[in-house]
Amino acid sequence: MKRLYLLFLACLMFILVACGGTEAPAPAENTASESPATEAESEAAAPAEEAAPAEEAAPAESAGEAIVRIGWAGSPDTLNPGTAVLSEAYTLFELVYDSMYQLQPDGTYTLELADSVDVSDDGTVWTFHTRDGITFHDGEPLTAADIAYS
């Protein structure tokens, strides 16, 4: 009985230690600049840096390519929307691809790539008019043939 009690206490202590966590160190301030500054520039910038906490900071200028990382538990089975099965793939498609329209939870739709839609009187023919200026990632314009293919 005493061994069982000691085993229980040891397990309990192990669980408490494992769940305890540690304090994260405070993030270090990055004082390195992207381009070297001359002494005159740094002296001129010093008063502005001191006044910065009192004012709202201006948004940083984009220096080029940005990377967005999104993590989730699964991984897509394919990057082809026509053959995808897993929900993880559709989550990725929402972030990467645009569609002609988005179906809303209430049954209505909002147009994305389309400017307008003409529906025939009998409801069997839908004509989508695409927005001008839509291009692929390589700069090629979107055509009706591209839409029909996909």
Q: What are the structural domains of the chain?
A: 69-98 (no CATH), 99-149 (3.90.76.10)
- Comparing 2-16, 51-65, 117-131, the range with the smallest average pLDDT is 51-65
Both tokens of 149, joined, read: 């293919």
> What six digits make up the tokens of 87?
């929900």
Under the banding of pLDDT at 50, 70 and 90, the label for residue 28 is low
| DSSP, res 75 | -
pLDDT in tens, 2-23: 888 888 888 888 787 777 766 6
Q: What is the pLDDT of residue 38?
A: 47
Which of 119, 118, 112, 122 is closest to 142 using CA atoms? 112
pLDDT of amino acid 51:
47
